[in-house]
Amino acid sequence: PELAQFCRNSKILVIAGGAAYGAAKRWPSENFREIARRWINEGGFVATVGSQKERPIADEILADLDSAHCWNAAGKTSMDGLIYLLKHAEMCV
């Protein structure tokens, strides 16, 4: 979805699941996925953010979740877009 269209949703959770300095500092994707699953089950929407390099991690986090409630924005948003998304988020992990 487009950024503005996604931000029309209520109850947005933003997940920044990547780690700039390597996997040793990164929380396991399945843990982020469980948080996202619970959020979606409560009627929420989930967006993942990060760099283009972190896009595969974001895909892994969103795997097997309801795609109608998810958006992988990693590598797709400008800094202004990220600020806009965070402004509309209810929570960020």
* pLDDT at residue 1 greater than cutoff 80: no
26 vs 87, residue with greater confidence: 87
Distance, in Å, from the CA atom of 4 to the CA atom of 61, rounded to the nearest integer, reads: 22
pLDDT, tens digit, 9 for 90 and up, residues 18-77: 876 677 778 999 999 999 999 999 999 999 999 999 999 999 999 999 999 999 999 999
Quick check: helix, strand or coil at residue 36? helix
**pTM of the predicted model as reported, rounded to 2 decimal places:** 0.90
Domain encompassing residue 75: 3-92
Q: Give me the number of domains the chain comprises.
A: 1
The dihedral over CA atoms of 18, 11, 66, 73, expressed in degrees to the nearest 10, equals -40
Quick check: helix, strand or coil at residue 46? strand
Residue 19: what pLDDT? Answer: 73
Quick check: helix, strand or coil at residue 27? coil
Pairing of strands 12-15, 45-48: parallel
CATH of the domain at 51: 3.40.50.2000
